[in-house]
Amino acid sequence: MATTTTFYNSYKLNTLDGAIDLENDTIKVMLLTSSYTADIDADAFIDDVSANEISGTGYTAGGQVLAGKTTTQDNTDDEGVFDATDLNWSTSTITARYGVLYKDTGTPSTSPLICYIDFDGDKISSGGDFTIQWNSEGIINVN
């Protein structure tokens, strides 16, 4: 399902500063409605986007923690790769247009954004599974 990924400029700075450890920090995915208008320059923390968070049966505010996180070196493709287990909200009734990855500090105003995923249209579950299946090449590829 995950199709187009765009990184927030604040994440690029946080990467250079070493402020986010993808493998060891708590990384979550929050789902947003189609009302969200991304601003990769100004959006820096989860409270900048949370007004557009979805609600619905089977979804908990703040989103879901990524499990099975790994960072690896891919010498074949000359990349650094971040990946995790696919996400699933089972028996859910929700509609989302975007997923936002962020480092959860426990405080929205200090929980930095990483990137947002545009599902290229509303994705809907109605009493079933809402799944984000990551690309087979990983969630983030740096080359």
Task: Dump pLDDT digits (tens) for 14-37.
Answer: 999 999 999 999 999 999 999 999
The answer to whether the beta carbons of residues 84 and 70 sit under 8 Å apart is yes
Cβ neighbourhood burial of 40 (10 Å; 0-12, 13-18, 19+) = middle
Q: What is the pLDDT of residue 23?
A: 95
Tell me: pLDDT of 86 over 80.
yes
| pLDDT tier at 3, thresholds 50, 70, 90 | confident
Tell me: pLDDT of 1 over 70.
no
| pLDDT tier at 2, thresholds 50, 70, 90 | low
Q: What is the pLDDT of residue 119?
A: 95
> What's this model's pTM, rounded to 2 decimal places?
0.95
Task: Provide the 3-class DSSP secondary structure of residue 114.
Answer: strand
Task: Dump pLDDT digits (tens) for 98-113.
Answer: 999 999 999 999 999 9
Task: Dump pLDDT digits (tens) for 47-58.
Answer: 999 999 999 999
Task: Dump pLDDT digits (tens) for 110-135.
Answer: 999 999 999 999 999 999 999 999 99
Spatial distance between the Cα atoms of 69 and 115, rounded to a whole number of angstroms: 16
Tell me: pLDDT of 60 over 90.
yes
Tell me: pLDDT of 41 over 80.
yes
Range 72-75, long-range pairs (CB < 8 A, 24+ positions)? 72/138, 74/141
Mean pLDDT of the chain: 96
The answer to whether the beta carbons of residues 14 and 35 sit under 8 Å apart is no
